[in-house]
C-alpha cells in the first residue's frame, strides 16, 4: 500500500505504509520477495535507502492463519498460514545474512505481524461486538466449522459462552483431536439442528428453574 502523491513519478518515491495479505498469493515467489522487501525497508526500490530500516516498522496483516484448507484434492492444501510461515522463515534468513541479532528479528516480527481470522483474539472480539444487543452478548455463541485448529480453537478461547460443532465436510478427520468441540456431525444442516435442539432444551430448563 503506497499513498499516492501528485506528479507522474511521485508514487514510486513514496514509502509503503503497510502490507495486506487478503488471500493466498498465486505466485508465492513474487509475493514473498515483495513482502520481505517492504517489511525490511518501507521504500526498498529507492537508491540510498537502508536495506533494513530499523527506524520504521511496516505492519504486515494476514487475514487467515489456517495452515491447511480442504478443496477437491483428497489431501488438505496449504493455506495462508503456510504463506506466513514461509514469510517469517525468509525474513529471518535475510536479516540473519545482514548480521541482525536473532533477538532483534524476533522483536521486529512480533511488532510488525498483525494476525486476523480464526482463532485470533481480534476476530473473536469482533464477533462478540457484532452479535451483542445493547452491549450484551447472547448467552451462547456457536462456532460451526471443519477445522479443529482454527474453528474450534476460537470457541475454546471464548470461555463457557462459546461452543463449537465440528462438521465432516473439510479438514477434520475422525482420527483428529476435536479441540473441545461439543459435537461432531456430518453436515452443516446437522450442526444447525443440533444447536437448535440444545438451545430449546436449555431454554426449557431455565424456564423450569424460574418457576
Question: What's the rounded Cα separation, in Å, for the pair 199 and 118?
Answer: 24
Show the CA angle centred on residue 61, arms to residues 130 and 135, nearest 5°. Answer: 15
Tens digits of per-residue pLDDT, 183-192?
Answer: 999 999 999 9
Answer yes or no: is pLDDT of 195 > 80.
yes
**Predicted local confidence at residue 47, as pLDDT:** 61
User: What element of type H or E holds 26?
Assistant: none
Q: CB neighbours of 92 closer than 8 A, spacing ≥ 6?
A: 102, 105, 109
**Predicted local confidence at residue 211, as pLDDT:** 59
**Predicted local confidence at residue 113, as pLDDT:** 94
Tens digits of per-residue pLDDT, 139-176?
Answer: 889 999 998 988 898 888 877 889 999 999 888 889 99
Tens digits of per-residue pLDDT, 51-105?
Answer: 777 777 889 999 988 888 877 788 888 999 999 999 999 999 999 988 889 999 9
User: Cα 3 to chain center, whole Å?
Assistant: 25
Amino acid at each position: 500500500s503506497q499513498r499516492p502523491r501528485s506528479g507522474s513519478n511521485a508514487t514510486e518515491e513514496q514509502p509503503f505504509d503497510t502490507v495486506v495479505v487478503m488471500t493466498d498469493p498465486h505466485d508465492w515467489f513474487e509475493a514473498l520477495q515483495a513482502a520481505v522487501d517492504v517489511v525490511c525497508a518501507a521504500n526498498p526500490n529507492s537508491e540510498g535507502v537502508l536495506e533494513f530500516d530499523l527506524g520504521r516498522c511496516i505492519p504486515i496483516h494476514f487475514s487467515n492463519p489456517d495452515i491447511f484448507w480442504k478443496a477437491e484434492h483428497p489431501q488438505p492444501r496449504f493455506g495462508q498460514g503456510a504463506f506466513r510461515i514461509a514469510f517469517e522463515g525468509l525474513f529471518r534468513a535475510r536479516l540473519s545474512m545482514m548480521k541482525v541479532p536473532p533477538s532483534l528479528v524476533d522483536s521486529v516480527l512480533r511488532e510488525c505481524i498483525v494476525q486476523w481470522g480464526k482463532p485470533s483474539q481480534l476476530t473473536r472480539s469482533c464477533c462478540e461486538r457484532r452479535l451483542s444487543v445493547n452491549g450484551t452478548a447472547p448467552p451462547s455463541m456457536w462456532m460451526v466449522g471443519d477445522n479443529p485448529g482454527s474453528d474450534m480453537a476460537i470457541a475454546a478461547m471464548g470461555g463457557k459462552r462459546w461452543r463449537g460443532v465440528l462438521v465432516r465436510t473439510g479438514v477434520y478427520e475422525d482420527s483428529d483431536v476435536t479441540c473441545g468441540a461439543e459435537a461432531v456431525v456430518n453436515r452443516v444442516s446437522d450442526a444447525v439442528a443440533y444447536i437448535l435442539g440444545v438451545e430449546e432444551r436449555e431454554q426449557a430448563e431455565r424456564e423450569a428453574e424460574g418457576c
